[in-house]
């Protein structure tokens, strides 16, 4: 087995970090999931870092780094750039340690994240419309003022802090076989993988570590194939918390040796996972925090013994949550939107409603117009939004309409 201590913190350093981090971070719950266990064919547990202080695991690495600063560095203050969880983690840690913090955030940052970061005592500066602009601004601020720049993932103290989560998981599920971890830049999985691989090797046991990325921002599969940290062009994804275009250098060095596989999931997969967590586990989890569950739901994780899926965060704007729930319903065939052309004469709308009722679907919304672009002068066009109960029910509804002579078209 590769000597993981060459790339990252040693077991002793992880244990020291646990003592430090305990001053700020909570020991989060470990919940079993019967639904996922039945799907996977083996026990599945959910590590609920969405219930962590500040709403994510980020407080662990931020506090560990800030606590190790010298008195002179603390006096100069700290600065960071983030659109979400890293901002809140740094702000909270700085407040707990009596350090002045300045956080650069993009102009369009979600209001709850902005308010929370300010509430934790940070001076927030809004700059630019993408993550790159606040990053540049934070680096310039550090150079001009002497403030300590706090990186989100590519730092040994951050990795050691995030790795305390691995020690906690092992305390709660000592018989674990597989851990499934979200990946952005790699701070969380490099810490968790390194500490668990070292502990298991010392005990003569093995453990599988599987990373999960959003398909639209998956830099690790490319980097692992190339053998070097590689920057990619990302596409928009609902999992913005892990949308990182290039792996951290230290993180990649650990991950290429300590992580067994990296898989990807789509936005629809993530939305379905968030909906499942709400309904089955009664947990609010942000998109980036739900990717491990998405990987299980889509069959990317096979039966590999007792499995722990990390829910890395729960910070989500309620307005975004509403949109994602709707998307999850559509992706799960629980919500169906169709268009149809009807003869423009009395009774047609009532007839369609009757057919849908016979198929046991529920009409949520109706749009009826004579001005459809593809309709004849004697026709009208109808758009229906329906509540359905899964793929088989959707096909039954469509089949019932087709048998009655209509031509329903699914509207995505």
Q: Which residues are catalytic?
A: 58, 312
How far is C-alpha 323 from the geometric centre of its chain's CA atoms? 15
CA-CA distance, 101 to 91, in Å (whole number)?
Answer: 6
Per residue, the 3-state secondary structure of the chain, as one string, reads CCCHHHCCCCHHHHHHHHHHHCCCCCCCCEEECHHHHHHHCCCEEEEEHHHCHHHECHHHHHHHHHHCCCHHHHHHCEEEECCCHHHHHHHHHHHHHCCCEEEEECCCCCHHHHHHHHHCCCEEEECCCCCHHHHHHHHHHHHHHCCEECCCCCCHHHHHHHHHHHHHHHHHCCCCCEEEEECCCCHHHHHHHHHHHHHHHHCCCCCEEEEEEEHHHCHHHHHHHHCCCCCCCCCCCCCHHHCCCCCCHHHHHHHHHHCCEEEEECHHHHHHHHHHHHHHHCCCCCCHHHHHHHHHHCCCCCCCCCEEEEECECCCCHHHHHHHHHHHHHHCCCEEEEEEEEECCCCHHHHHHHHHHHCCCEEEEEEEECCCCCCCCCEEEEEEEEECCCHHHHHHHHHHHHHCCCCCEECC
* φ, ψ (nearest 5 deg) of residue 381: -115, 140
């Amino acid at each position: 087995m590769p000597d993981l201590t060459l790339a990252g913190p040693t077991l002793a350093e992880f244990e020291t970090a646990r003592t430090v981090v305990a001053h700020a971070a909570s020991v989060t719950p470990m919940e079993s999931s019967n639904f996922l266990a039945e799907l996977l064919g083996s026990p599945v547990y959910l590590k609920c870092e969405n219930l962590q202080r500040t709403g994510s695991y980020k407080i662990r690495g931020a506090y560990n780094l800030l606590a190790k600063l010298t008195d002179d560095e603390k006096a100069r203050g700290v600065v960071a750039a983030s659109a979400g969880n890293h901002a809140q983690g740094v702000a909270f840690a700085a407040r707990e340690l009596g350090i002045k913090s300045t956080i650069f955030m993009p102009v369009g940052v979600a209001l709850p994240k902005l308010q929370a970061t300010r509430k934790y005592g940070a001076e927030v500066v809004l700059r630019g419309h993408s993550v790159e602009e606040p990053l540049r601004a934070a680096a310039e601020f550090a150079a001009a003022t002497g403030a300590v720049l706090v990186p989100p993932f590519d730092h040994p103290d951050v990795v050691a802090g995030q790795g305390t989560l691995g020690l906690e998981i092992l305390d709660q599920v000592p018989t674990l076989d597989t851990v499934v971890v979200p990946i952005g830049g790699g701070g969380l999985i490099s810490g968790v993988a390194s500490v668990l691989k070292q502990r298991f090797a010392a005990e003569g046991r093995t453990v599988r570590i599987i990373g999960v990325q959003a398909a639209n921002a998956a830099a690790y599969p490319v980097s692992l194939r190339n053998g070097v940290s590689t920057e990619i062009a990302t596409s928009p994804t609902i999992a913005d918390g892990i949308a990182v275009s290039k792996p951290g250098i230290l993180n990649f060095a650990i991950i290429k040796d300590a992580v067994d596989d990296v898989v990807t999931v789509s936005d629809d997969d993530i939305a379905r996972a968030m909906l499942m967590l709400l309904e089955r586990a009664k947990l609010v989890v942000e998109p980036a925090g739900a990717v491990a569950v998405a990987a299980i739901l889509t069959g990317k994780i096979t039966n590999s013994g007792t499995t722990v899926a990390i829910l890395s965060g729960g910070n989500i704007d309620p307005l975004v949550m509403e949109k994602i729930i709707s998307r999850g319903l559509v992706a799960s065939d629980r919500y169906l939107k169709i268009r149809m052309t009807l003869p423009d004469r009395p009774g047609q709308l009532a007839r369609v409603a009757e057919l849908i009722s016979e198929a046991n679907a529920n009409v949520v919304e109706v749009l009826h117009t004579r001005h459809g672009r593809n309709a004849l002068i004697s026709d009208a066009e109808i758009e229906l939004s329906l509540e359905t109960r899964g793929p088989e029910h959707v096909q039954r509804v469509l089949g019932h309409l087709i048998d009655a002579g209509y031509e329903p078209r699914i509207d995505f």
